Structure 1
Amino acid sequence: MTHRERCVHGATPDLVADGVTVRLGDRALLDDVHVHARGGRVTGLLGPNGSGKTTLLHVLAGIRKPNRGTVLVGDVAVRSLSHRRRARTIALVEQHAATTTDLTVRQVVALGRLPHRRMLAGPGSDAGAAVVDDVLDLVGLTDLADRGWTTLSGGERQRAHLARTLAQQPEVLLLDEPTNHLDLGQQLRFLALARELGLTTVAALHDLELATAFCDDVVVLDAGRVRGHGPVGATLTAPLLREVYRVEASLDPHPRLDRDHLVWDGHVEETA
């Protein structure tokens, strides 16, 4: 059995947001949002700053209740799940990997096993120690397992948080700007790993080139509304990029790889 098979469940349900609206006072953070993230595929969540990406991830994770609409994982409403069952189904890697306690890397990762422990059982009763070892190996942190959290770099902390979420053995993986603290090589390795896991994955990304390289589908948000949704090549069209990002750009065939890549021609001049 591979590390991947031991670290995650086999099930890859669809994740669907249906008519989700979130309001803050009289302002709509999300406005009638419909999203369908297909099982086993990587869906990129794109859009300018303030477009609603993090808010939508929190709704998808079930940690923020929308004013209207529902989120289904498979055929079950996410917010109908108990906290324990939800944590075993959906894992969220937040944008800022922070903790106030000086734990070791292994202890941070082991926190992901909490939803699997029996009520009132001690840490020694959890049979998931092998899972912790496997996910540490999967993200390349075995050699740092006994290091203190505060001694880690930003990129190492981000990988430790990915390991913690994988220790939950989720069916759905949500990533909020996961490459923010990573150098280019780490970004490529992180997203390649996320893709290889075969989970239902939704990743909020700023970098359109990374989205083009690693995502199967994309959702483009702007001012809380969905402006495009579907396969990468069919969705990131020149008119959409011009309208949402105010740039002249297009997806063209990559000169060496069997995929498209982003070609930028300039920004759109603002009109008075």
Structure 2
Amino acid sequence: MSHRENCVHRAAHGDLLEVTAEGVTVRLGDRTVLDSVGLRAAGGRVTGLLGPNGSGKTTLLHVLAGLRRPDAGVVRVGGTDLRSLPDRRRARTVALVEQHAATTVDLTVREVVTLGRLPHRGRLGGAARDTRGADVVEEVLEMVGLAPLAERLWGTLSGGERQRAHLGRTLAQEPEVLLLDEPTNHLDLGQQLRFLSLVRELGLTAVAALHDLELAAAFCDDVVVLDGGRVRGDGTVGDALTAPLLGEVYGVEASLAPHPRLPRQHLVWDGPSGGPR
């Protein structure tokens, strides 16, 4: 079974992990970045993490990925405390696509994607136990549209190509939970739509920090809205993204309305609701 087929199979059979955060608090000096934040990302659904700049989205994703230890609170994946998972198992369970993809070594695209197989190798770094690695890498390169660029060096890639290579590295980990921090940065409109369509098609449990509310309305099942490090709203897209909440959090007059052609809602806005925030 291919990587894509395996993801879709797990989604179809409900064999997907739920991610929950309870009372997550993060302080930097005397500043509280996250203040007793709670979150539930249901298995197999795409949860949008929304909010203005500085609301705490990236910090929360780092906590969900196990990259930052909160000052208080707990994150559970499939009911298990994330901090209790050994590093290698955690890397095979949860993967994060960072906002800014970077490497200090000028690797080829194939080598960047192959880095995602490290959690599947032997403890001393040998590839002998990773019998599926080469096939997974080739499939992922096709999935993210980079097979023709597999031998290109990282330093020669555009910002959008780097972002897709970074997604490929993450998918090569074969995670059950996919975390994405502004994943459509550097992507043109067509690439944004294909990128998020792929995330939905895989059917993984996904949490994506997004700035574009129209993309959130189109591709997310549920949303959590942060402002000032606190949860201001959560629920399904239609229930959470109300006109009052959008006015209070974003300072705009906007609301969701039925899409004129597609079976979903989209954002209708009139403009700022009282000057810059």
Match of 1:75 in 2: 79
Instruction: Say if 2:172 is the partner of 1:167.
Output: yes
Cα distance in 2 between the residues matched to 1:112 and 1:210:
27
AA aligned to 2:119 is P
AA aligned to 1:78 is L
Cα distance in 2 between the residues matched to 1:263 and 1:152:
36
SS of equivalent to 1:50: coil
Change (3 A) 1:168 1:198: same
Match of 2:51 in 1: 47
AA aligned to 1:118 is G
Match of 2:158 in 1: 153
Give the superposition deviation at 1:229. 0.6
AA aligned to 2:273 is V
2:24 to 20, 24, 35: 20
Match of 2:94 in 1: 90
Over the residues paired in the alignment, what is the CA RMSD in angstroms?
Answer: 1.5
SS of equivalent to 1:123: coil
SS of equivalent to 2:90: helix
Cα distance in 1 between the residues matched to 2:76 and 2:9:
18
1:31 to 28, 35, 38: 35
Match of 2:198 in 1: 193
Give the superposition deviation at 1:121. 4.7
Cα distance in 1 between the residues matched to 2:87 and 2:152:
30
Give the superposition deviation at 1:126. 2.6
Question: Scaled by the length of structure 1, what TM-score is found?
Answer: 0.96
Change (3 A) 1:23 1:9: farther
AA aligned to 1:5 is E
Give the superposition deviation at 1:226. 0.2
Deviations 1:106-139 (A, max 9, x none): 1100000000001225235531110111111111
1:238 to 220, 240, 243: 243
Gaps of 5+ in 2: none
Deviations 1:63-88 (A, max 9, x none): 10000000000111111111111100
Match of 1:101 in 2: 105
Could you list the structure 1 runs, at least 4 aligned residues long, displaced by more than 3 angstroms after superposition: 6-9
Cα distance in 1 between the residues matched to 2:274 and 2:122:
60
Change (3 A) 1:121 1:224: closer
SS of equivalent to 2:135: helix
Give the superposition deviation at 1:143. 0.9
SS of equivalent to 2:17: coil
2:137 to 116, 132, 135: 132
Cα distance in 2 between the residues matched to 1:144 and 1:255:
38
SS of equivalent to 1:51: coil
Cα distance in 1 between the residues matched to 2:210 and 2:23:
22
Give the superposition deviation at 1:3. 4.7
AA aligned to 1:87 is A
Alignment of 1:240-255 (within 5 A): 240-255=245-260
Change (3 A) 1:7 1:104: farther
Identity of aligned residues (%): 74
Cα distance in 2 between the residues matched to 1:111 and 1:5:
22
How many residues get paired?
271
Give the superposition deviation at 1:26. 1.7
Instruction: Say if 2:64 is the partner of 1:60.
Output: yes
SS of equivalent to 1:88: helix
* Mapped contact 2:120–2:129 kept (Cα < 8 A): no
